[in-house]
Structure 1
Amino acid sequence: MCGRYSLAMRLDQVRDRLIEDGIVLDEFSEDEQNNYYPSNNVHPTSRQPVIFRHGAQHSLTIRTMMWCFQPPWTHKIDKSHPIFNARSDNLTSRMWAGPFQKGGRCLVPVQGYYEWLHSNPDGKSKPKPTTPYYVRPCDANAIMYLAGLYSVAYIDKEPSTATEGRDKQPEREPLYSFAIVTTSPTESLEFLHPRMPLVLFPGTAAFDDWLNPEFKPTDKLQRFNVNSEISCNITASKAEIYLSGPKSGQPIVNKNGLDEFLNKNKKGVAAAEIKTEDENQHKRIKNERIDLHENKTSHFKVTPEQKSSEVKGGHYNLRPKNQSSPKFNKSSSTPAQKSKITSFFTKIS
């Protein structure tokens, strides 16, 4: 199984690395860089570079594809259950027979991939993933090529209006997607997981045959890793975490290294200073509000009778029983007062 891998190189850097490995592309488009984001933690459904041959001349090219295989007969993208692996012993099934037998084979360049060590201490329960490992070439600057299968599905475009969707056939656009072929592990990696990607090496017949769309019979294609090639060229080490940062995949020696990597120390000090300042400010404001409240209500004396007459909303009736609510009496104002009020509003207007 391969559910995470690393490729933190720009597309032009991948091309240069291919040239160093003796792989010369017939076509290369700089525009593909806009669809690709280098990452040390590549996840399914993201767009990643894929090497394949296409056209009548079988031109070798590199193109970004979605790492979530979409069958060629589908017209809608389905990411609910991403298909990112294809078992090597199941390549003649309906799902994979087309791309496997009719020129849909490709290679996925990676700098390494992640795998979780499965442990089963009691020997009865289902094995559970415990420790992540990073599997990469022994040469840290090298690229590993994983066998894959790709397809081209024509996906419906969303109609601009509901009327257009009813009256016209939906427009469709091509979507390139791929999956990584997995096989049984070699002796050096069988401790890690019962499956591993099919790794092919430049300069070998298996590498060239996998990319050749006209190679037949497909039963002769390599579907298993060679023990000697993997043991001599591939290594695995513990990776306590895997993130998108520059140190992804590298083993962390101690907790202090992890703290330094995550910048927890610096953030912790800043957070503590802000927290202390906020608490002091909160206490000061609270005390001011208490003082203000005491000054406003110091002339009120709440008696037991007033407490017992608590009104709805949790407030107390602090007015004496013999004092009624003030009411405005229109007839209480004198003619002189009415004249003053009238002249006041006349001046304002």
Structure 2
Amino acid sequence: MCGRYAMALRPSQVRRLFQADNMPVDEAPADEGDGSPRSSYNFAPGYYGTIYRAEDSYGYHSLHSFAGLVEGEADANAQGKGAGHSAVDEDTHKEGKDGKRVRYKLQTMKWGLIPSWSKRAPDYGTLLKTINCRDDSLSHPGGLWGSMKLRKRCVVVAEGFYEWLHPPGKKDKIPHYVKRKDGKLMLFAGLWDCIRWEDNETQEAREEWTYTIITTSSNEQLRFLHDRMPVIFEPGSEEFWRWLDPQRREWSGELQGCLRPFEGELEVYPVAREVGKVGKDDPSFVIPIQEKESKGSIKNFFAKAGKGGGKGHEKGGMAGDQGEEAEGERKPPPSSPVKAVKREADTTPLKGEPPFKKTETAPSPSPSPIKEYTSPIKPTTTTTKGKISAMKNVSKSPVKSKVKAGGGAEQSLKITHFFGK
């Protein structure tokens, strides 16, 4: 299955790469303007793509001159007959009946094949059903592809394709990008057709060139991802030229034998989920992304903590992932250790009773290296109302006791008198 692929190269770039691999390009669309293919890292059905095919002798010429031909076609033809053609001119299947070399061209077509015998204008719903063609459906005579497989064979130019992995028990599908490990172009086996109709509104004759990608069983490397994959040709291989040979007008075992799983080495890795949205286009779609980075990364850890912390601060505390607690019943998070608070015993004397004596604790078995500090300041003999002595760690001022000395007026005893008791 191939429902999305990447093709961001311009026709001029494709032309140079083809000629470098000894594949002639006698005609190509312009990089921009009318008739130019779409460049996209997220190539979807209905887009205009780049296909490579041999010129046929069945009168399938455009109603108007092929739009967007690259300037300097004569120079390109000369290049095709030169070094770019030295290895292929000797092959008999590169020559037509008149002994002349077969011309090959890059052409703009819409992805989603509409048969020429269709009686209505192509729409997106119809295109979507014919973006792929199974290889086993071509082994039987007749059918939807019966006329196209005999003389309308082509190669679809791409850089790589996407496939979605559906892990068992999970709803989300993970997009993966597949490309050649050697970095070369991916050349898919395809079929093309041209439909012509009359526009009911303008009463003008119109035409649409469309194509489909042929799929076969997945090779061992892609079996974990999907049970189908596009048929991929090696550039300039024997199967490549056999598939494009315009003189092969009868379906044979040799042509069927071209449709087999790719034997080369591929590179497969997960990519951004945004590639699943039609219309989104970004170079990052072909850059690998690890699943662990998208779920368990340290960046996402702090992102979650920030969201939880913000929610908690609005309530005056930390809510986190454990949920918010009622005011006054908040508990520290499980990971935070609870520190004990040492409290002094209440030594405030009751009314009418002498103050408590502070019991001395036994010294520690292991002597402390810090010597005990003795203050040189003696306790004061007077007290101020509302203040406590600096030498006594109590919560309230001790109660004053008043006695009569020799039956005379009341006198206040010194505060040291209480400690004497």
The TM-score, its normalising length taken from structure 2, stands at: 0.53
Q: Is the 8 A contact 2:271 2:288 kept in 1?
A: yes
Which residue of the partner structure matches residue 271 of structure 1?
A: none
Which residue of the partner structure matches residue 117 of structure 1?
A: 165
Q: Does 1:61 align with 2:108?
A: no
Q: Distance in 2 between matches of 1:251 and 1:28?
A: 32
Which residue of the partner structure matches residue 237 of structure 1?
A: 269
Which one has more relative contact order, counting CA pairs under 8 Å at least 6 apart? 1
Q: Distance in 2 between matches of 1:112 and 1:178?
A: 17
Q: Is the 8 A contact 2:189 2:231 kept in 1?
A: yes
Please list the CA deviations of residues 134-159 of structure 1 after superposition, one character each: whole Å capped at 9, or x if unmatched. Answer: 0001123x211000000011032242
SS in 2 for 1:186: coil
Which residue of the partner structure matches residue 97 of structure 1?
A: 146
Q: Distance in 2 between matches of 1:251 and 1:178?
A: 29
Q: Is the 8 A contact 1:114 1:134 kept in 2?
A: yes
Which residue of the partner structure matches residue 307 of structure 1?
A: none
1:93 to 1:195, Cα distance in 2 relative to 1, 3 A? farther
Please list the CA deviations of residues 211-258 of structure 1 after superposition, one character each: whole Å capped at 9, or x if unmatched. Answer: 11222443321354345x23x3x22111133241121121234359x9
1:209 positional shift: 0.6
Please list the CA deviations of residues 240-298 of structure 1 after superposition, one character each: whole Å capped at 9, or x if unmatched. Answer: 33241121121234359x9x9xxxxxxxxxxxxxxxxxxxxxxxxxxxxxxxxxxxxxx
Q: Which runs of 5+ in 2 are unaligned?
A: 58-95, 97-101, 300-421
Q: Distance in 1 between matches of 2:168 and 2:254?
A: 36
Please list the CA deviations of residues 71-112 of structure 1 after superposition, one character each: whole Å capped at 9, or x if unmatched. Answer: 1112411322412000110124421011101x1110011100
Q: Is the 8 A contact 1:32 1:63 kept in 2?
A: no
Q: Does 1:209 align with 2:242?
A: yes
Identical aligned residues as a percent: 30
The one-letter code sitting in structure 2 at the alignment partner of 1:113 is F
Q: Distance in 2 between matches of 1:128 and 1:145?
A: 32
SS in 2 for 1:209: helix
Which residue of the partner structure matches residue 192 of structure 2?
A: 150
The one-letter code sitting in structure 1 at the alignment partner of 2:40 is S
Q: Distance in 2 between matches of 1:99 and 1:197?
A: 18
1:132 to 1:157, Cα distance in 2 relative to 1, 3 A? same
Q: Distance in 1 between matches of 2:32 and 2:242?
A: 26
Higher helix share: 1
Larger Cα-atom Rg? 2
Which residue of the partner structure matches residue 9 of structure 1?
A: 9
The one-letter code sitting in structure 1 at the alignment partner of 2:191 is L
Q: Distance in 2 between matches of 1:89 and 1:37?
A: 30
What is the Cα-based RMSD across aligned positions, in Å? 2.6
Which residue of the partner structure matches residue 21 of structure 2?
A: 21
Spell out structure 1 runs of 4+ moving beyond 6 A. none
Q: Distance in 2 between matches of 1:26 and 1:80?
A: 34
SS in 2 for 1:94: coil
The TM-score, its normalising length taken from structure 1, stands at: 0.63
Which residue of the partner structure matches residue 330 of structure 1?
A: none
Q: Which runs of 5+ in 1 are unaligned?
A: 122-126, 161-169, 261-349
